[in-house]
A and B are shown apart, each in its own frame.
Chain A
Amino acid sequence: MKFKVNNNEVYASTGGRPFDKKKPLIIFVHGSGLTHMTWVLQTRYFAFHGYNALAVDLPGHGLSGGESLKSIEEMADWVSAVIDAVGHKEASLVGHSQGCLVTVECTSRYPDKIKTLSLMGGAGAIPMNPQLLSLAENNDPKAVDLMMDWAHGPAGHFGGHPVPGLYHINTGTMLAKSRTIQNTLGVDFRACDNYKNGFEAAKKIKCPTLSILATDDKMCPVKEGKKLAALIEGSQVDIIDNCGHMMLLEEADRVLSVLKKFITTNYPPLSS
């Protein structure tokens, strides 16, 4: 569906179901340089089971208009504005990687609006490798290739996509190259590198929170994810073995089943 936030058109996948204001809202926030399509193996399930599943394209990404937002704080405010724009008062948030920084910040800023928080491959801070940051800011496609290399665990490098026939390293590459790299990945990496408030924001979160971490995640290692989770009261942690940072593709079924249990328990769907 398309709607406007701050006068810019926003695209959000609704998981193949029409948006229905009566249903509780889950917002999925993608990682650096990516789009709503990274969530396809999670959103469709929730959309067909009593939720409005909105996998947004951040401004300047995927099918959304406007320019990429330059800070995690701006993105956090933007997510809150999305909730307003679609006519809801509250939502459950799900973030991946950079999306975790955004949703942590958003939850700390708008505690009354956010009912549950699910973090995948999250950390309190994501400092960027200077060379990688420079490559992305200089529009070098090598930045995407490096990201895809580091984002997939050793097993993920062989493929084995849950959807038959899809090769996820190439699919991720194509998503990250679908718009100008320096305007998406470059801006996002800089925003991640600049963001320093993650641990403080985490301390303010009181809603039920789940962290899904992966043993082979090089971008946000388990150690960092646990450090963040330890600051969030009552936070649950689920660790996936033999999986990298792109857990939502590499181990999509496992992620969906953990997410399903957590969200339906803490933020029940509209029963049909």
Chain B
Amino acid sequence: MSDKKKELKPNTYKFDTLSLHAGYQPHKNAGSRQVPIYQTTSYLFDDVDHAAALFNLERGGHIYSRISNPTVGVLEERVASLEGGTAALATSSGMSAIFLTVMTLCEAGDHLVVSSQLYGGTVNLFRLTLPKFGIKCTFVKPRDTEGFKKAIQKNTKGIFGELVGNPGNEIMNMPEIAKIAHEAGIPLMVDATYQTPYLCKPFEHGADIVIHSLTKWMAGHGSSMAGILVEGGKFDWMQNDKFPTMTKPYEGYHGLSFAEEFGPTAFTMKARAEGMRDFGPCLSPQNAWNVLQGIETLSVRMKKHCSNAEEMVKYLMNHESVAWVSHPSVPDHPDHELAKKLLPNGRGSMIAFGIKGGKEAGVAFINNVKLASHLANVGDTRTLVIHPASGTHSQMDEATLKFAGLSHDMIRLSVGIEDIDDIKNDFEVGFRAARKPRLVSNQ
């Protein structure tokens, strides 16, 4: 009788609990409270039958750490749980996660529609390297939602973009672009490195594959390289004949059809069985463990990253040396409203701003800040700065820089979790140095 009165509620674990516990059962690991680091290349088979069953995907388990590893497996499950995904596959870096995703999806002769505002390395992968494998890409500006639709061709196998573009902070209208992709019967792949699942869960907005450079906020401490692809499990690979490598019998596993056999986890299973076997960009167990330590405090850190970022936005907007500030929390940012919808827990800690005095002032600023680190990374606990046109995106020509939304006065700032006053004081030193050459030349 009491059941009728009491509303039933699922008691599955919530985000902060999953960040600490998902993917790991101590009683199966000698009671070790901390996730053990399985520093091993390979795993004993019980007998020949057991070995054959593992090789043939008849049962779960580990064979060789290039394919899977128990420590890495905990990380994979943990991220899948946090994203609301069915499965995940960790890789040695974010770039290898993107490459593995594309190579699992595409064959020579295929085409992708890609957002133009991406990390420079990703741009080069899509623009220069993938064509060498026979995979061509059409770039579309992230705010040009209709442009994504127009760029789809008969041989298009997916749409790829960073939810919030690097470094210009332009936001893709993910729900609308997901609709476009799904109407065309292709998946939407989203690099959500800047957001982490704490700020946005792309599967809730229509994405099918989520990719992270775990090196950034997920690990959070600037210590370890890692990447991951996560599968949402909703995309129906069998709805059309666009994905024969997912749906048709695969010679490499005795005629296995990944889509029929593994359904909502088919993409990850193929990426592991084929991609990790053949390309081998495996994550070391030590780095997986380091990333797990970071994830334990993800929500705590992201709150501080975001609050510090919003303070810095206010500071920069009122600073005489700053020409412009781009961050989704700024009310006149073109994607401000979209950001409120997609990033309800915070708008992230990446800020782009223009320094008065252009490239020369930018260089002086970068060379004179002392607390902020000048390096090619983002998402560290420490504040990081770089001048993209001469750093992360320096391999681009003038036209590509413009298309990617970069300018010579742009400074990319990854706000850390130091005391906010110390960051501001450091920036004052940088701004003073940036003003000096101009003051001199004005005299």
Whether a CB of chain A sits under 8 angstroms from the CB of B60 is yes
B45 CB, nearest partner CB in chain A, Å = 13
Q: Which of A22-68 contact B (CB under 8 A)?
A: 35, 37, 40-41, 44-45, 48, 63
With a cutoff of 8 Å between Cβ atoms, the chain A residues found around residue B68 in the complex are 164-165
Inter-chain contact B8/A129, CB cutoff 8 Å: yes
Inter-chain contact A164/B254, CB cutoff 8 Å: no
Inter-chain contact A242/B27, CB cutoff 8 Å: yes
Known contacts being A148-B12, A162-B61, A165-B87, is A37 close to B263, with CB within 8 Å?
A: yes
CA distance A186 to B56 in the complex (A): 36
Q: Which of B256-290 contact A (CB under 8 A)?
A: 256-257, 260-265, 268-269, 272
Known contacts being A158-B23, A165-B76, is A171 close to B256, with CB within 8 Å?
A: no
With a cutoff of 8 Å between Cβ atoms, the chain B residues found around residue A131 in the complex are 3-4, 7-8
Whether a CB of chain A sits under 8 angstroms from the CB of B405 is no
Inter-chain contact A130/B4, CB cutoff 8 Å: yes
A269 CB, nearest partner CB in chain B, Å = 13
CA distance A148 to B86 in the complex (A): 13
Inter-chain contact B268/A166, CB cutoff 8 Å: yes
CA distance A170 to B85 in the complex (A): 6
CA distance A172 to B391 in the complex (A): 45
Q: How many residues of A contact B (CB 8 A)?
A: 45
Whether a CB of chain A sits under 8 angstroms from the CB of B73 is yes
Whether a CB of chain B sits under 8 angstroms from the CB of A157 is yes
Determine which of A142, A165, A252 lies in contact with B77 in the assembled complex, contact meaning CB atoms within 8 Å: A165
A169 CB, nearest partner CB in chain B, Å = 6
CA distance A250 to B254 in the complex (A): 26
With a cutoff of 8 Å between Cβ atoms, the chain B residues found around residue A148 in the complex are 10, 12
Inter-chain contact B60/A161, CB cutoff 8 Å: yes
Inter-chain contact B261/A40, CB cutoff 8 Å: yes
With a cutoff of 8 Å between Cβ atoms, the chain A residues found around residue B87 in the complex are 165-167, 171
CA distance A228 to B262 in the complex (A): 32
Inter-chain contact B58/A35, CB cutoff 8 Å: no
Inter-chain contact B89/A165, CB cutoff 8 Å: yes
Instruction: Name 18 extra pairs, CB < 8 A, besides A159-B81, A160-B77, A167-B22.
Output: A16-B261, A37-B263, A135-B8, A149-B10, A155-B25, A158-B21, A158-B24, A159-B22, A159-B25, A162-B59, A162-B60, A167-B81, A167-B86, A170-B233, A171-B86, A174-B264, A178-B263, A253-B61
| Interchain residue pairs with CB less than 8 A apart (19) | A16-B57, A16-B253, A37-B264, A44-B57, A45-B53, A131-B7, A132-B8, A142-B10, A158-B24, A159-B22, A159-B24, A163-B265, A164-B62, A165-B76, A165-B80, A170-B84, A171-B265, A174-B233, A253-B61
Query: Hey, which bits of chain B sit against chain A, CB under 8 A?
Result: 3-4, 7-13, 21-25, 27-28, 52-53, 56-62, 68-70, 72-73, 76-78, 80-81, 84-90, 233-234, 238, 253-257, 260-265, 268-269, 272
